[in-house]
Chains A and B, each alone.
Chain A
Amino acid sequence: MDQFKQKAIEEAYELIADLEASLLVLEDNSDDKNHISKVFRIMHTLKGNSAMFGFDYIAEYTHHIESIYDLVRNDKLKLNKDIFDLTLSSVDHLNLLLEDVNLAEEANKTRHTAKLGELMNFVKKINALIESGVTFIDLDAGKVTQESAPTPTVAAKEVESPKAPEPPIVEDKIEEAIVEEVKEKQFTFLVTINPHKELLQLGTNPVFLFDDLAELGHAETYAEIITDTIDFTTLNPTECHVIWRVFVATTQGIDAIKDVFIFVESDCDLDIKQISEDNVFERKDYVNDINKILGISETKSFLDLQYTFETIVKPTVKETKPTKASKPTVEEPKQEVSVPVVAEVKLEKTSTAAKDAAATSIRVPSERLDTLMNLVSELVTTQARLSMFAETSDNTEVTAIAENVQKLTRQLRDIAFNICLVPIQNLLTRFQRLVRDLSAELKKDVELYIEGSETELDKSMIENLSDPIMHILRNSLDHGIELPEVREKLGKPKKAAIHIRAYYSGANVIIQITDDGAGIDLEKVRNKAISKGLVSADTNLSKKDIIDLLFLPGFSTAEKITGVSGRGVGMDVVRRKIMDIRGEVDVDSKQGVGTSISIRLPLTLSIIDGLLVEIDAVSYIIPLSVVDKCYAVEHTKIETAYNNIIVLDGEQIPFYYMREEFNCQSTTPLTEQIIIVRFEEHRIGIVIDTIIGEYQAVLKPLGKMYKKQDIISGASILGDGTIALVLDSNKIIKRFSQHEMAI
């Protein structure tokens, strides 16, 4: 049970993250129906899940928020800032509740009581307004609309689906009031349930569904056996071959009916139609009408059905909404359908699509993924041995098998990798909230723009990125961005902008955080460093050197220590954290214009496609992703090359001679290979002895002892048990070019 509870809590955290994202969208556009519904749905799910696992406090709390959003959703309440702030603070509170579901700590309990009281007050206020007969509440406007529907057009109003708030818990006053208001209005729906054969095997008991429907009002169920597909000689009695048609007369809307099927949605084709705007069962001869409908064969379209009903009973019948199971009909009602309703139909459709997508994915504990990756790594290593063995054996069959295994391993590896990739979105949306809260706290007006949130990164990297990015954002908000008044004086737009851009660049993912704030005051940084004794006053420092000072431990330019930044743990922690995941941090800044911080990360952490080469009888691996071309050159050409530049294919290419850089003593081969690698926008040659071939390298860390050897990004064990070192071409070029400059 505990394990299920744990899962429920995990899921709740995810829901809350979604919730936050939706709320932030709503903040900009409070009329976004899509997101209002989403907030409502999330609250509804949270409530349901919590009640199921006995998290009563959460269930109670979410219930009230759900009520509020139900009103918003049904155009009875206008979303305003108060409601937002209330909901956002509720999000924080929900997080707290999730940490301590039973409110074991006294402090949490008091907090919960206070929070709940606050929420209840709000609910009561709205409640009172509703009881006084108000149909649309706009708290901002200060006035309330009496009896006038908020629907924009008459046409829309006409076809608007008769939605009454459906939360089944009626103890709450709000709901009671609304239910009363619409009590007289009853609708009859025809619910056709066409279950998939496996429905019963999945443990669903349809009888409970009928009971639930009956609770909504009056329901009658008719079963129809699908005889034409049944072959009694082979019939599997555990399969379901029945279609049910349930007539439901209820005061509640179509959503209430849909909620009944929320758990079996994916196991059956569901079709819900409103067939009448009254309670059919109140008619004397309703049995005849129903029989007539049931008598209509399945092939007849809904239009026919509608027609039948219209001729039998006078009240107009309208298609409320086509569900996915409905037949392609509905010509006439469409003309009537005005824009708002179309939008709503779309909305519902996307939500079902999302649910379908959810059904095809599963949740897996991350340890299992780690184990999978480790096993794949071992498999790759073993496969390398097999390939090696096959090469030396004369048996052609072994060679063929080895080749096949190699192919399969490669595919398996790629898939295993893909599984571990997560879009960066999950990480970045968190920051929307951070920026919002912090800018309010600092009285700054800042907008965060996120681009490329679909960029995918290894999940272990995502986990490690959160803190550094948060720190960078804090720095930017606290030091970088000026107060609105200052910005205005400087002729900058009052609202500052922070952009987070994530994109692929070769074998790297780059996350760039740019603000249009004050930029780094180089002089100030320099003076600070001098006063802290980090550099001496007479040192000549370039812009880059000064920026590098920011990364020194204990460096913080904040004049006063704020809660936001300036605790002394600064950019050095950021750099260290990023380096832990083999990334790099670059800072560029222009005073008065802004600062841009780029985080460059390797795409993968554990297995790469590499080019296996040899330098002085030692094997090295160059990541294939950076390799452009290979050429064979004579040693004499290398030796005589002036200023380490060689002309290849009519292009001048600077190169690094690895034998020289590594101080190799042995005699040089007559012909050497030059590998052209991409470095930023340039093409640079690396001269090595021989190329052995392509190789899938499982990266192993070299360990702390070799931490300073940053030109080697790891090691890999070859098929014969020897070790190949993985060269980081970017670092090589950086290191040796600096070296040259120093000379």
Chain B
Amino acid sequence: MNELSTLTSYLSFKLGDETFAANVSKVLNILEMTKITKVPKAPEYMKGVINLRGTVLPLVDTRIKFGLTPTEFTANTCILVLDIQIENDTLQVGALVDAVQEVLEIEPYQILPPPNIGSKFHSQFIVGMYKATEEQFIMILDMDKVFSTEELLEVHESSQGTQ
């Protein structure tokens, strides 16, 4: 494995009220909102494509993917450009998020195993939980798995179950 994958830095971002985090090795770029070209006849969570410096980048509405209402564009809405590993291919995907928070240093021992509650909980997409404050847990996501599946994820309900 390369050096990047062992990084202990995580980027946290918000989807609705929930905070999630992704390993920074997966995040290539954070973009502001730009013009989206809708692709007809595509699944709803596939928001369209954007022009990323001359290449065509598919854009996923992460909120829809996670079973939330479609993203409403605000000044804070951002696009994370992610490097996703599917089987043996690497591909780039843009992911719409409501807001980007901060970069956290999380040591492996600080990552708690994902809770086993809630029948709808897709624990295979979650690397673990990080206790940021006494009240707040951050879900660390396995971005490869999240974006390599075509189905919608029901993280929302399951995260409610953890509270």
Which B residue's beta carbon lies closest to that of A705?
A: B58
Q: Is the CB of B46 within 8 A of A706?
A: yes
Whether a CB of chain B sits under 8 angstroms from the CB of A618 is yes
Interface flags for A268-297 (1: CB within 8 Å of B; 0: not) read: 000000000000000000000000000000
Interface flags for A670-714 (1: CB within 8 Å of B; 0: not) read: 000000000000000000000000000000111111101101101
The complex places the Cα of A715 from the Cα of B55 at a distance, in Å, of: 9
Whether a CB of chain B sits under 8 angstroms from the CB of A15 is no
Whether a CB of chain B sits under 8 angstroms from the CB of A722 is yes
The complex places the Cα of A619 from the Cα of B86 at a distance, in Å, of: 30
The complex places the Cα of A480 from the Cα of B92 at a distance, in Å, of: 44
Give residues of chain B (75-115) contacting chain A, Cβ–Cβ below 8 Å. 86, 89, 91-93
Give residues of chain B (37-56) contacting chain A, Cβ–Cβ below 8 Å. 37-42, 46, 49-51, 54-56
Given contacts A381-B54, A705-B46, A715-B49, contact A723 B37 (CB under 8 A): yes
Inter-chain CB contacts under 8 Å: number = 67
Given contacts A662-B40, A711-B41, A723-B49, contact A700 B35 (CB under 8 A): no
Whether a CB of chain A sits under 8 angstroms from the CB of B21 is no
Q: Is the CB of B91 within 8 A of A722?
A: no
Whether a CB of chain A sits under 8 angstroms from the CB of B139 is no
Q: Is the CB of B51 within 8 A of A723?
A: yes
The complex places the Cα of A722 from the Cα of B39 at a distance, in Å, of: 13
Q: B38 to chain A: which residues have CB within 8 Å?
A: 618
Q: A704 to chain B: which residues have CB within 8 Å?
A: 86, 89, 91
Q: Is the CB of B54 within 8 A of A702?
A: no
The complex places the Cα of A715 from the Cα of B56 at a distance, in Å, of: 7
Q: B146 to chain A: which residues have CB within 8 Å?
A: none
Interface flags for B58-80 (1: CB within 8 Å of A; 0: not) read: 10100000000000000000000
Given contacts A618-B38, A706-B46, contact A717 B58 (CB under 8 A): no
Number of interface residues of B (CB under 8 A): 22
Which B residue's beta carbon lies closest to that of A378?
A: B54
Which A residue's beta carbon lies closest to that of B58?
A: A705
Given contacts A662-B40, A700-B56, contact A717 B51 (CB under 8 A): yes
Given contacts A700-B56, A705-B93, contact A721 B37 (CB under 8 A): no
Q: Is the CB of A722 within 8 A of B41?
A: no
Q: A714 to chain B: which residues have CB within 8 Å?
A: 56
Q: B86 to chain A: which residues have CB within 8 Å?
A: 704
Would you give the shortest CB distance from B63 to chain A, in whole angstroms? 17
Q: Is the CB of A702 within 8 A of B40?
A: no
Q: Is the CB of B55 within 8 A of A702?
A: no
Whether a CB of chain B sits under 8 angstroms from the CB of A461 is no
Q: A717 to chain B: which residues have CB within 8 Å?
A: 51, 54, 56
Q: A711 to chain B: which residues have CB within 8 Å?
A: 40-41
Q: How large is the interface on A (under 10, 10 to 19, 20 to 34, 35 or more residues)?
A: 20 to 34
Would you give the shortest CB distance from A709 to chain B, in whole angstroms? 5
Q: A662 to chain B: which residues have CB within 8 Å?
A: 40-41
Which of the residues A661, A700, A706, A721 comes within 8 Å of B39, measured between beta carbons? Answer: A706
Would you give the shortest CB distance from A256 to chain B, in whole angstroms? 57
Q: B37 to chain A: which residues have CB within 8 Å?
A: 618-619, 715, 722-725
Would you give the shortest CB distance from A722 to chain B, in whole angstroms? 6
The complex places the Cα of A702 from the Cα of B51 at a distance, in Å, of: 11
Interface flags for B107-150 (1: CB within 8 Å of A; 0: not) read: 00000000000000000000000000000000000000000000
Q: Is the CB of B55 within 8 A of A700?
A: yes
Which of the residues A661, A709, A721, A722 comes within 8 Å of B42, measured between beta carbons? Answer: A709
Would you give the shortest CB distance from B54 to chain A, in whole angstroms? 6
Would you give the shortest CB distance from A662 to chain B, in whole angstroms? 4
Q: Is the CB of A703 within 8 A of B51?
A: no
The complex places the Cα of A717 from the Cα of B93 at a distance, in Å, of: 17
Would you give the shortest CB distance from B98 to chain A, in whole angstroms? 21
Interface flags for A576-608 (1: CB within 8 Å of B; 0: not) read: 000000000000000000000000000000000
The complex places the Cα of A724 from the Cα of B50 at a distance, in Å, of: 10
Residue in A701, A721, A723, A725 with the greatest tally of chain B CB atoms within 10 Å: A723
Q: A706 to chain B: which residues have CB within 8 Å?
A: 39, 42, 46, 49, 58
Q: Is the CB of A709 within 8 A of B41?
A: yes
Interface flags for A651-682 (1: CB within 8 Å of B; 0: not) read: 00000000001110000000000000000000
Would you give the shortest CB distance from A710 to chain B, in whole angstroms? 9
The complex places the Cα of A709 from the Cα of B39 at a distance, in Å, of: 8
Given contacts A662-B40, A722-B37, contact A703 B54 (CB under 8 A): no
> Which residues of B are in contact with A by a Cβ distance under 8 Å?
35, 37-42, 46, 49-51, 54-58, 60, 86, 89, 91-93
Q: Which 3 A-B pairs have the closest CB atoms?
A: A662-B40, A723-B37, A705-B58
Beyond A704-B86, A714-B56, 8 extra complex contacts between A and B, CB < 8 Å: A661-B40, A663-B40, A703-B56, A703-B91, A715-B49, A717-B54, A722-B37, A722-B51
Q: What are 29 contact pairs spanning A and B, CB under 8 A?
A: A618-B38, A661-B41, A662-B40, A700-B55, A700-B56, A702-B49, A702-B56, A702-B58, A703-B91, A703-B92, A704-B86, A705-B46, A705-B60, A705-B91, A706-B39, A706-B42, A706-B58, A711-B40, A712-B40, A714-B56, A715-B49, A721-B51, A723-B37, A723-B49, A723-B51, A724-B37, A725-B37, A725-B39, A725-B40
